[in-house]
Each structure stands twice: as C-alpha cells, then as structure tokens.
Amino acid sequence: MAGTHGGGGLFQFVTIRLLPPMLRFETAGESHGECLIATLTGLPAGVPVSLEAVDRELWRRQQGYGRGGRMKIESDHAEIVAGVRHSHTIGAPIGILIHNRDWKNWSEALAVEDSGGAEDKRKPLTRPRPGHADLAGAIKYDFHDARYILERASARETAARVAAGALAKALLGEFGIAVLSHVVAVGSARLERPAEWDEIAALSRKGEILLGCVDAEAEARMKEVVDEAYRTGDTAGGVFEVVAHGVPPGLGSHAAWDGRLDGRLAQAIVSIQAVKGVEIGFAAEGAASFGSKVQDTIHYHREERRFTRGANRAGGLEGGITNGQDVVLRGFLKPISTLRRPLESVDLATREPALAAYERSDVCAVPAAGVVAEAMTALVLAQAFLEKFGGDSLRETRRNFLGYLEQVKSF
C-alpha cells in the first residue's frame, strides 16, 4: 500500500506508515450512556451477516459465573444501522448500535445538555478505586469527579468490540477460519491438560456457561475460587486461551516490526480491560526450557504434498507470520478491581483517607474476557487477511485466496 505522494526515500516511507489499516474499527459510548456504537470500515461487499449470530456473541460475552447484577439487566442486542443490506455487507462502513437498557436510570446523571441540576444528580465518584482508570484519568482530563473517566474505561465498551468482532468472524468463516476461546485458569485453579479444538467448539455451542472450561472437574475447582471471592468480598482473575483454527500460512510479516502478527495480536489482547499479560504458544514454559524442547520440528508429507510440524508450541506464529497451525494466545486477567470490601483510597475533594467507591461489579469475568479476546483476535486476523488478499467484493477476495492456496500447494 504505497502512498500516492511522489518522491521516494524517507517521505514515501512516512506516507506508508500513516495509511490506516484496510480494515479498521472504532467504538464510542459510555457505560451508562444511551448506547454503545461500533463502526467497522473495510469489509468487502457480499459478506453474509446474521443478526442472530452477532447477538449470540453478545450473549456469550454476558455469561459466566461471577458476573454482577448488571448482566441481568442488560440483554444485549445489536442494531445494525449502516453498511449491511439484505443480510450482506455492501462495502460501506458498518454502523452498529447496542442500547444500554439501564439508560433510563442514568439520563439525568449523564445528560448530554447541562440543565444546571444538582451536583449529586450526576452521581459523582470522588473516591477513586485502585486498579481503575479513575485517578489517573481524573488527573489527566482535569475532572475532580471520576465519573466521566470510569464511564468510558469500563469494560462495558467490550460489547461494541464483540459486535464488530462478530462481523470479522463472518468474513473469516467464509474462508474456513474460526476463532474461539476457553478458560484455562481462575485464580490458582487450573486446567491441567491441553484442550482439543472439538471440545472448545462444543463449549461455544452450550446454552449455559459456568466458567467456560472444557473440563468439568477443573471447572468445579474454578467455581470454588469464585465462591471464596463471593464469601470474602474479594474478586478473582485468571487466564483464557484463544484458538484460531483453519488459519492459512502467510498472514502477517517478518519484514517490519509493525507488520509482525504476533505483536499486533499481543496489542489487541492486552488492550482488553484488566488483561495484564499475553502469551503466544507456550511462551512461559518455553522460556524455562532448552531450545531442543521448544522449537516445532519440520516434516514433509509426500502423499499430501504438505509440510507438517512435530508440535505447536509456537502457537501458530513464527517470525510474526502464521505458519498454518492453529494460532494460540493466552490472556492473563488481573482480579476485578472493584471490591465489595473496598481498598484504601483518598477523597478527591477533601484529600482525606477514604475507602474506595463501590459500583455494582463482577467478581470474576474470565470467560467473558475470553469472548472479547476472540473478537479482538478475529479483527486482527481479518485485517491481516485483507492485507494479503484484498478485494472489494467477497468474490474477488475468494479468487485471490484460492489462487494463493494453489500457489502454496505447488510450492
């Protein structure tokens, strides 16, 4: 994607860097505002879109043992208002609204026009909660009430990401790529074995979600951790794993730091609220092992005329390029910051010590974070996919994709 400005050298280099990605998305909306908004620009025309499939993803994000009362109020529904007609994308920017059902209780606190009402009607938050954006954001944006900060920093925003991600999944699905997640740890309770793709797929079809673990015994231990957090007024974190299945080799690039898909996926995962670390493949285990035990050996299947690998410890990425194996990422969530038994803080008005504010809150959100991470992974993979195969229409993208598969076959 070279720039259209003439000249070469540094100027052209800068132009290339400033071009936006072919597929891009943004979200807007406050946690208790009228609605959340997502825009997604760059999907080719002709991608089939099912509102039911988008709502199913939104439902999955709302599930899990340990979610707060809000999840019972909100039953999210995506309203697509632009870019999709007669169940297909039309190549125009897509606009999605998700209404907040709680808005009626907040229309005064978060009114768009100031009608000069009493200060306390704004539901001010002056005792910032440790582990939230409250204090850093209040200082940065010069508010002595952290309400506007927490409204936007809240993970409620991730509903909009999930809706956009559902459309990225729809594109990827046309090419046999699926992105799903499962929970591998809640607190100290861990899944002690690898999960098979079929198990993860079966989990995603369930009508009831406890902690999103493929193993009932491990899930029961995870539940005990959440129960303990409930009993003690505390919260729990954990680890989710995202697996992208059916990914072709060759997405992303080793050639430039910002083209490396491992880096782009890591950024996408860590951008999720409360995710403090990411692991690609078996990174932590690998760092403690010798190289001979870590690298995935290379083999060749003559009849099928394709390369195979001894294992997938690299998580499907080598040199920042997909290698044709499943892409496997893990996200590490800190425990939820808002505690029923609040931590020490300071009142922004009086500067006196005070206990942090409490707002209705989740105790554990690891399965939901996994669903958000699926969306982020799907969006980044769809970006890399369109960078490689392009196309203004799905038919054109498919032609380019199939041509590349032929090339790979005869490599």
Name the site residues for ligand FMN (rule: CB under 6 A): 68, 131-133, 153-155, 158, 272-274, 334, 336-338, 361-362, 365, 368-369, 372
Q: What are the backbone angles phi and psi of residue 149, rounded to the nearest 5°?
A: -70, -50
In angstroms, what is the minimal distance from the CB of 357 to ligand FMN?
10
Q: Two tokens at 52?
A: 């039911």
Q: Report the distance separating Cα 49 and Cα 170, nearest Å.
A: 7
Q: What's the angle, vertex CA 56, arms to CA 52 and CA 58, rounded to 5?
A: 115
CB nearer to ligand FMN: pick between 151 and 262:
151
CB nearer to ligand FMN: pick between 356 and 394:
356
CB nearer to ligand FMN: pick between 63 and 397:
63
**In contact, 335 and 363? CB cutoff 8 Å:** no
Q: Report the distance separating Cα 276 and Cα 369, nearest Å.
A: 12
The single-letter code of the amino acid at 384 is A
Coil/strand/helix, residue 28: strand
In angstroms, what is the minimal distance from the CB of 274 to ligand FMN?
4
Q: Report the distance separating Cα 242 and Cα 280, nearest Å.
A: 10
CB nearer to ligand FMN: pick between 155 and 394:
155
In angstroms, what is the minimal distance from the CB of 301 to ligand FMN?
41
Nearest-CA neighbor of 167 among 71, 89, 251? 89
In angstroms, what is the minimal distance from the CB of 134 to ligand FMN?
9
In angstroms, what is the minimal distance from the CB of 113 to ligand FMN?
27
CB nearer to ligand FMN: pick between 69 and 117:
69
Q: Report the distance separating Cα 385 and Cα 380, nearest Å.
A: 8
CB nearer to ligand FMN: pick between 228 and 392:
228
In angstroms, what is the minimal distance from the CB of 271 to ligand FMN?
8
**In contact, 183 and 239? CB cutoff 8 Å:** yes
Q: Report the distance separating Cα 149 and Cα 158, nearest Å.
A: 16
- Direct distance between the N- and C-terminal alpha carbons of the chain, in angstroms, rounded to an integer: 26
In angstroms, what is the minimal distance from the CB of 334 to ligand FMN?
6
CB nearer to ligand FMN: pick between 22 and 159:
159
